[in-house]
Structure 1
Amino acid sequence: MTARTLTNVVNDQTVALNAFIFGYAGHSLVTPHAALQQVWWTEERINEKVTREFITSRLQPNERRWLERPVGFGDLTDDTYIDWILERARRLFLVLAEVGEADKIFTVVEHSWDDDDLPLQMEDIEQLSLSNKRDDQVNIRFYHTQFTYLLRVLSQGVHIDYAPNEVLPLEYVMGLPPAVTLQHWSRVHLPKKPREVYVRRKFPLGNAECPDAFESDFLMDVESAKMVEHEHIAPVWASYTLKGTGYTLSNFVGQHTLKTYIEHRNPPQYQRLPKPERRYLLLGWLHCLADAVATLHQNGFCHSSIRPSTILIDDHNNIAFSDIDSLETFQKDKKPDPMEIYIYSAPEVHISLQPLDAEIAKPTSGRQPSRHKLTKVPTNDFSGFNFGFKRTKPAPKLRSRIHETEKADVFSLGCIFLDILTFMLKKKTHEFVKHRSSKQKIITGGKNSKTDSSFHANLERIDTWIKVVEDASFQHEEDAFRAVPHIMILIRGMLSRAPVIRPTARDVRDRLLDILIQHTAIPNVHCGAHIHDTVLATTSLSGSDQASTMTSSRASMSTISTDSSDADTIRFSGLSPSTRVSSILNSYSDRSSTLSDISELDDGASISTLSLDTPHPPPFDTRPCSPRGHHPPIASPISPRLSNTPSFAESTRPSSPTGSTRSRRSAPWNKPFILLP
């Protein structure tokens, strides 16, 4: 008699599940209503299950007397059979008990096998002589059953290559976010941890011709994403591959995109906040997003597609970019709106595309061109009744990287800022769209429109809308609205038509911090202190060398060249705000004296580390945006009002709690996995 008896299969939980499936769950007094939970054979569960009592209960009386005898190779160890099972072969005993051959555990011990030898190959299983005349399929059952107890659980920073036979230790969360665009990203949790929810995304690793064509790209992009640790960029918590598909898990669980959040007008998590906190929240979002983009640029990345649909907001009003759009892997599971991409992109992105769009829109000889033109192609293949006529397919258009620059990110970020402030002043989105739209036929992404509501094509109308929002802010007396006119001046610079005029992301971040501290009574500034401003590493490379380095590693840092003019002397007037600003700035070390310690070597390609005196902590909570769960021990220099701040070099990031495991990858088993019928 095997352990999988009728009483194990038909119980109160399976009855409840069947009742739920067939539609009468909750209507019967005899149907249990407890939640059905998956049984996971974790290490703790196995240790609790396999005890002396359990082992003796699965053996015959004449077999139990062998348990206290020394093992057959007693010259090498003093263990008894029961000691060997409890210390080394708990999983093996569970597998044998499941297939009804618990007495074969003595053969396992005599072969000196333990749980580390799992999974066993078929030739090893045959040595146990499990098969008999009654049941010749027991070897096959043993092979498949062993994977139930070989549970490799995902952990932070780890990548696992799961074999097709393995059990995936994840459970679905039965709940969907309000944003429809996020509903195809499933929610899961680990065994026995229903409160720790993760967003799972899936990506194909190949195609019909080559099943693993994209696997190396997937692994490279996952590692690249892990290099940029920021609280406002949804992290890759863990990753795995299974049956030709790659998966990533993120512990940032978005409920809304910024687009759906604004269109909702009254999202529940926003309404739960008192009104003053709502305004501080939105102003803080501006600074946090700027800090995230600045961190991307410091690490050699461009986001390349900043728009409302790529920004997530969770149930606690935390905001983050869904991923780094310039990493190709993370775009494969999205269905982007071409019109939204067009609306929020920078002017220089469409300079080369306008003539192409005009040619597409231009009619030919008064007739519309055929969508699928048939052409004659030479062929000798008559299979499938193919007589040489095939539909011509347009050549796949490669993604252009020419205009993916840091200044293009700044323009798109300025558009996002204007959307958020419009929402803050309770202006309706459709009014803003109508105000900036112009009558101009556009064709983008296969979609036609008679009006152009993009930011880059209607900068004059955008400027008048900025004036509308500014005037609306003067009608409010709360201190949060005093920052709006100053932020609008910054947004005007970010939306400049010429990329060279736009500020850098770091300038935007520092200027926003300056505005929030001077003109509002915001209790704390999230992302206020920057650990990467304290210790810098400088790298000087030639243009070609730097391009090749970024192409190969996707993480090269830009060059820094700073003189003494970067350390501005800032004088503020006023009482409380100026006192706070002065105390912060005075606590920081002078940047010019710090950068003077940089030593330039012959080829300019070496790295020198800067050292700073430990500054005094700031007088208020800045809650820096360091990696999750990690806060820097000291405050770091902030220079608000930098007009010509150069791009950063490689920043020495703080050690993460997962620093030892972030690059750790679980090695795949080197044993063959046999797929048996």
Structure 2
Amino acid sequence: MLPNNDDRILIRKRFVITRPNQKTTLLEQINKFKSYDHKNITKLLCSYAQPSHVGIVTAKAQYSLDDYLSLPGTDPSRSKLLVDWMYDLSQALEYLHSQSICHRHIRPRKILIDGSRIYFGPFGIGGGSDTFSPTVPTPQRLDQIQNYFHDQTYVYAAPETLLSRGKRFSDVFSLGCVFLSMMTVAQGHSLSLFAQYRAGSSQDASFHNHLDRVASWRNRLHAMTTSGQRNGIVGSGRKVRQLKSEVDWLQIIEEMVKAKPKERTKMAIIVNGYGSGKAIGGRRRSLDGGGYSGQVAAALGGVTTHHASGSVVGSGANGRQGTTGQKPELSVFDGYFQQQQPRRFDQTGGW
């Protein structure tokens, strides 16, 4: 029974029964979801079944991550929250994978926020196909195809899910894309501009079809952040420790969005291998080289060591080492970002 509280707002989702065995399948999916026990995965308050439909009830969230990333302003506290939330979501996904459960629907609209808490919304209930094929001829009109190319289900999908059912490595890719979107906003950039940059001259704003542009964008964020560290520049009120955290997470993201599934890192490496990520001063401890994500980045082969001289010695996944004491070259992007006007992409669908 739910508590008697007239001020409480609840969300109900109904699944209309259209096939004989659909109700049984839905009830099995609901019972499976109810068994998940993690602070960063939503709880079903109740469910019910009637001859014509099955329903689930959850508490109302303050935002979806999609809404939150679209909020105006560059409050530095939001940047810190976004970086901290990456660890929370990593924990949740690692929990699912440790139970041999795949999410298969990771995208900003399926991630919810309530105060300082972030969590996965309901998933795996009443879902359709996990494969996408926009190139298959259909009678869809052009505007429908364009909406398809900007639907989050397609945009955040891993490359292999175009041909087969997604697995755990597919979740890692999708979450890495979400993290890159979060990092884009944390650094004060527009998601609409990021989508425009990915799409280029096409209508397809997906991550999986533009991995070269995704890598270039990540490299740009990484270069700007490391440049700010070396020169003592802190933008948008972000502290040096925050910049170090962003550098480390950008290195982790690089390992999450590899084109080949087996080359992607595992969530257990990110979460369990190299630190507890516990809070200091009310939230998480430093995510620099001595903290959580710095250790993860080192394990992934992307650690960056900061010396007193201000130089940076990096060791990438390919084993090469080098010392850079100069400001990274960013001009390759400057003309594009100064000349382009943001183009709004209206994404369809929801959960």
Question: TM above 0.5, one fold?
Answer: yes
The equivalent position to 2:207 in structure 1, one of 422, 441, 455, is 455
Aligned to 1:506: 268
Change (3 A) 1:233 1:462: same
Aligned to 1:318: 117
SS of 1:329's equivalent? coil
How far apart, in 1, do the equivalents of 2:263 and 2:52 lie? 47
SS of 1:457's equivalent? coil
SS of 2:196's equivalent? helix
Q: Could you give the per-residue CA deviations for residues 262-316 of structure 1, whole angstroms, max 9, x where no partner exists?
A: 12334xxxx9xxx5533331111101111111111111211112111211223x1
Give the helix-richer structure, 1 or 2. Answer: 2
The residue type paired with residue 431 of structure 1 is L
Q: Could you give the per-residue CA deviations for residues 653-676 of structure 1, whole angstroms, max 9, x where no partner exists?
A: xxxxxxxxxxxxxxxxxxxxxxxx
Work out whether residues 463 and 492 of structure 1, in 8 Å CA contact, stay in contact via their aligned partners in 2: yes
How far apart, in 2, do the equivalents of 1:426 and 1:525 lie? 21
1:244 and 2:52 are equivalent in the alignment:
yes
Mapping 1:353-392, distance limit 5 Å: none
Aligned to 2:28: 220
How far apart, in 2, do the equivalents of 1:489 and 1:640 lie? 6
How far apart, in 2, do the equivalents of 1:418 and 1:347 lie? 17
1:423 and 2:192 are equivalent in the alignment:
no
Change (3 A) 1:331 1:247: farther
Structure 2 gap segments, 5+ residues each: 130-146, 302-351
How far apart, in 2, do the equivalents of 1:240 and 1:459 lie? 43
The residue type paired with residue 236 of structure 1 is L
Larger-gyration structure (1/2): 1
Q: Could you give the per-residue CA deviations for residues 151-178 of structure 1, whole angstroms, max 9, x where no partner exists?
A: xxx34xxxxxxxxxxxxxxxxxxxxxxx
Work out whether residues 46 and 58 of structure 2, in 8 Å CA contact, stay in contact via their aligned partners in 1: yes
Change (3 A) 1:276 1:512: farther
How far apart, in 2, do the equivalents of 1:285 and 1:455 lie? 21
SS of 1:202's equivalent? strand
Cα distance, 1:216 vs structure 2: 1.4
The residue type paired with residue 218 of structure 2 is I
The equivalent position to 1:255 in structure 2, one of 26, 37, 62, is 62
Change (3 A) 1:510 1:305: same
Cα distance, 1:468 vs structure 2: 2.0
How far apart, in 2, do the equivalents of 1:469 and 1:512 lie? 24
Work out whether residues 270 and 296 of structure 2, in 8 Å CA contact, stay in contact via their aligned partners in 1: no
Cα distance, 1:462 vs structure 2: 1.5
Aligned to 1:329: 126
Cα distance, 1:640 vs structure 2: 9.3
Work out whether residues 40 and 119 of structure 2, in 8 Å CA contact, stay in contact via their aligned partners in 1: yes
TM-score by length of 2: 0.67
Change (3 A) 1:244 1:255: same
How far apart, in 2, do the equivalents of 1:408 and 1:427 lie? 26
Aligned to 2:169: 407
Change (3 A) 1:233 1:204: same
The count of corresponding residues between Structure 1 and Structure 2 is: 269
Work out whether residues 251 and 297 of structure 2, in 8 Å CA contact, stay in contact via their aligned partners in 1: no
The residue type paired with residue 507 of structure 1 is I
Mapping 1:83-162, distance limit 5 Å: 154-155=1-2
How far apart, in 1, do the equivalents of 2:125 and 2:282 lie? 39
Q: Could you give the per-residue CA deviations for residues 20-74 of structure 1, whole angstroms, max 9, x where no partner exists?
A: xxxxxxxxxxxxxxxxxxxxxxxxxxxxxxxxxxxxxxxxxxxxxxxxxxxxxxx
Cα distance, 1:317 vs structure 2: 3.8
Mapping 1:552-631, distance limit 5 Å: 578=290
The equivalent position to 2:247 in structure 1, one of 474, 482, 485, is 485
How far apart, in 1, do the equivalents of 2:71 and 2:247 lie? 26
The equivalent position to 1:304 in structure 2, one of 104, 111, 121, is 104
The residue type paired with residue 47 of structure 2 is S
Aligned to 2:87: 287
Aligned to 2:312: none
The residue type paired with residue 280 of structure 1 is K
TM-score by length of 1: 0.36
Cα distance, 1:463 vs structure 2: 1.7
Change (3 A) 1:257 1:250: same
The residue type paired with residue 263 of structure 1 is S
Aligned to 1:495: 257
The residue type paired with residue 271 of structure 2 is R
SS of 2:14's equivalent? strand
Q: Could you give the per-residue CA deviations for residues 545-591 of structure 1, whole angstroms, max 9, x where no partner exists?
A: xxxxxxxxxxxxxxxxxxxxxxxxxxxxx9xx95x88xxxxxxxxxx
The residue type paired with residue 493 of structure 1 is E
How far apart, in 2, do the equivalents of 1:310 and 1:488 lie? 22
The equivalent position to 1:348 in structure 2, one of 145, 154, 160, is 160
Work out whether residues 513 and 640 of structure 1, in 8 Å CA contact, stay in contact via their aligned partners in 2: no
CA RMSD of aligned residues (A): 3.3
How far apart, in 2, do the equivalents of 1:451 and 1:513 lie? 41
The residue type paired with residue 234 of structure 1 is T
How far apart, in 2, do the equivalents of 1:233 and 1:322 lie? 6
Work out whether residues 487 and 512 of structure 1, in 8 Å CA contact, stay in contact via their aligned partners in 2: no
Cα distance, 1:259 vs structure 2: 1.6
Cα distance, 1:255 vs structure 2: 3.1
Change (3 A) 1:238 1:452: same
Change (3 A) 1:311 1:512: farther
SS of 1:303's equivalent? coil
Work out whether residues 510 and 639 of structure 1, in 8 Å CA contact, stay in contact via their aligned partners in 2: no
Structure 1 gap segments, 5+ residues each: 1-153, 156-189, 353-401, 440-449, 527-573, 582-637, 645-677
SS of 1:430's equivalent? helix
SS of 2:209's equivalent? coil
Aligned to 1:198: 10
Aligned to 1:67: none
How far apart, in 1, do the equivalents of 2:204 and 2:118 lie? 29
Cα distance, 1:330 vs structure 2: 5.5
How far apart, in 2, do the equivalents of 1:434 and 1:246 lie? 39
Query: What is the percentage of aligned positions where both structures have the same residue?
Result: 22
Q: Could you give the per-residue CA deviations for residues 328-349 of structure 1, whole angstroms, max 9, x where no partner exists?
A: 42569xxxx7432222111222
